[in-house]
Amino acid sequence: MTDAHAIPGTGALDATIAMPYTLTAGPAAGQFLAELAARRIVGSRCAGCARVMVPAQDFCGRCGGAAGEDLVVVAPTGVLTAITHAGQDTLVFVRLDGAGADLLHRLVGATGEEAIGTRVEAVWADEPAGGMLDLAGFRAAEAPEEPAAIAPLTGGAERIVQLDESMELHYRHAYGPYYGRLFDELGARRRIMGVRCPSCQAVLVPPRPRCDVCHVKTATWVDVQDTGTLKAFSVIHLAFVGQRREPPYIYAEIVLDGASTKLIHMLSGVDIDTAPQTLRPGARVRAVWNDDADPTGTLQDILHFELLPGS
Ligand SMILES: [Zn+2]
Ligand SMILES: [Zn+2]
């Protein structure tokens, strides 16, 4: 998770999960991507079956033959072979003139009258950015007077090796009554609440509708303290997506006084280098509340935990 914030008064959280990654294009597709900036659509011809594929591919998907050596420039015109609507976009397969495989792209300025067989032409981005959208899409076009020719690629641009991409998922998470009350009390009164199981008497923090051990409905809301006992910890040295603080830091499992379950938070004020030798389960800790910002009604209202004097 890279970002999450409570929406005041709604009992919900707006959050985004993001996964950045690099895409390695490969030789032929990397050349295809690079040539789009020069408004050239590059395919490759299979050495086995002579089919021309767009985008250019290193191997033929039909016969398995090598295809990365014979790069060709195809016409920026073709016909639609399939259409689908996805949200605001109209996605299409385009069979470019002379090609033997379809290119997946989108229609720009779709009128709703496009159909399979409609002739289309490329629409180019005003400012090339070095990626697939340098070819902005396709739009309906008149039929050309002469059939388009396929020409060998000469004077190719430097191919694109890697693309930085990020997959992002935006969602809204409704707390429900149990987490909702926990967060409301945290934000409004700095009060940490759990629920007691009527069968095993465990106090569950965060509160939840059923005891995970007995599977019976929980019953009574109870206050727990903002002091507790360290049960386990890890020193985090690696950076990863979604961290709220720069490594290194200590990730701690804490049982708050009055609670039976572990809460995960950060432990600060401990020397990171010697922590593996000096810090021990059983150490007493307390919450350090965030006094410098308005309450958010989340566990981030607790900045971190620190050792109690003498621990
Ligand atoms: Zn082939
Ligand atoms: Zn129970």
pTM above 0.85? no
Quote the ligand 1 centre to 149 CA distance (angstroms).
20
- Residue 299: what pLDDT? 84
Say yes or no to pLDDT of 196 above 90. Answer: yes
The answer as to whether 12 is a domain residue is: no
- Residue 9: what pLDDT? 66
Q: Are residues 109 and 194 both part of a single domain?
A: no
What is the arithmetic mean of pLDDT over 78-90?
93
| Domain boundary residue, one of 153, 168, 183 | 168
Residue 2's pLDDT band (boundaries 50, 70, 90)? low
Q: Are residues 56 and 149 both part of a single domain?
A: yes
The answer as to whether 9 is a domain residue is: no
Q: Are residues 226 and 297 both part of a single domain?
A: yes
Quote the ligand 2 centre to 210 CA distance (angstroms).
8
Q: Are residues 161 and 196 both part of a single domain?
A: no
The answer as to whether 56 is a domain residue is: yes
Q: Are residues 33 and 140 both part of a single domain?
A: yes
The answer as to whether 240 is a domain residue is: yes
Quote the ligand 1 centre to 185 CA distance (angstroms).
66
Say yes or no to pLDDT of 148 above 80. Answer: no
What is the arithmetic mean of pLDDT over 129-140?
94
* Greater pLDDT, 307 or 145: 307
Supply the mean pLDDT for the chain: 92
Ligand whose nearest atom lies closest to the CA of 201: 2
Quote the ligand 1 centre to 131 CA distance (angstroms).
26
The answer as to whether 16 is a domain residue is: no
What is the arithmetic mean of pLDDT over 181-185?
91
The number of folded domains in the chain is 2
Q: Are residues 293 and 187 both part of a single domain?
A: yes
Ligand whose nearest atom lies closest to the CA of 195: 2
Under a CB-based contact definition with an 8 Å cutoff, are residues 285 and 227 in contact? yes
Q: Are residues 198 and 101 both part of a single domain?
A: no
Least confident of 102-111, 137-146, 224-233, 272-281: 137-146
| Domain boundary residue, one of 126, 143, 168 | 168
Ligand whose nearest atom lies closest to the CA of 198: 2
Q: Which long-range contacts (CB under 8 A, 24 or more apart) does 292-299 make?
A: 295/186, 295/187, 295/188, 295/190, 296/5, 296/6, 296/187, 297/6, 297/8, 297/183, 297/184, 297/186, 297/187, 297/188, 298/4, 298/6, 298/13, 298/183, 298/186, 298/187, 299/186, 299/265
What is the arithmetic mean of pLDDT over 14-37?
92
Quote the ligand 1 centre to 275 CA distance (angstroms).
61
| Domain boundary residue, one of 142, 168, 194 | 168
Q: Are residues 103 and 230 both part of a single domain?
A: no
Q: Are residues 54 and 126 both part of a single domain?
A: yes
The answer as to whether 10 is a domain residue is: no
Least confident of 88-97, 233-242, 248-257: 233-242
Quote the ligand 1 centre to 104 CA distance (angstroms).
19
Residue 178's pLDDT band (boundaries 50, 70, 90)? very high
Quote the ligand 1 centre to 146 CA distance (angstroms).
27
- Residue 227: what pLDDT? 97
- Residue 8: what pLDDT? 65
Ligand whose nearest atom lies closest to the CA of 47: 1
Quote the ligand 1 centre to 41 CA distance (angstroms).
19
Say yes or no to pLDDT of 1 above 50. Answer: no
Quote the ligand 1 centre to 162 CA distance (angstroms).
26
Domain of 130, in residue numbers: 23-168
Ligand whose nearest atom lies closest to the CA of 61: 1
The answer as to whether 181 is a domain residue is: yes
- Which residues have a beta carbon within 5 Å of ligand 1, which is an ion? 46, 48-49, 60, 62-63, 65
What is the arithmetic mean of pLDDT over 225-251?
91
Q: Are residues 163 and 179 both part of a single domain?
A: no
- Three-state SS letters, the chain: CCEEEEECCCCEEEEEEEEEEEEECCHHHHHHHHHHCCCCEEEEECCCCCCEECCCCCECCCCCCECCCCEEEECCEEEEEEEEEECCEEEEEEEECCCCCCEEEEECCCCCCCCCCCEEEEEECCCCCCCHHHEEEEEECCCCCCCCCCEECCCCCCCCCEEEEEEEEEEEEECHHHHHHHHHHHHHHCCEEEEECCCCCCEECCCCCECCCCCCECCEEEEECCEEEEEEEEEECCCCCCCCCCCCEEEEEEEECCCCCEEEEEEECCCCCCHHHHCCCCCEEEEEECCCCCCCCCHHHEEEEEECCCC
* Greater pLDDT, 7 or 76: 76
Ligand whose nearest atom lies closest to the CA of 59: 1
Q: Are residues 151 and 185 both part of a single domain?
A: no
Say yes or no to pLDDT of 200 above 90. Answer: yes
Q: Are residues 140 and 184 both part of a single domain?
A: no
Residue 81's pLDDT band (boundaries 50, 70, 90)? very high
The answer as to whether 5 is a domain residue is: no
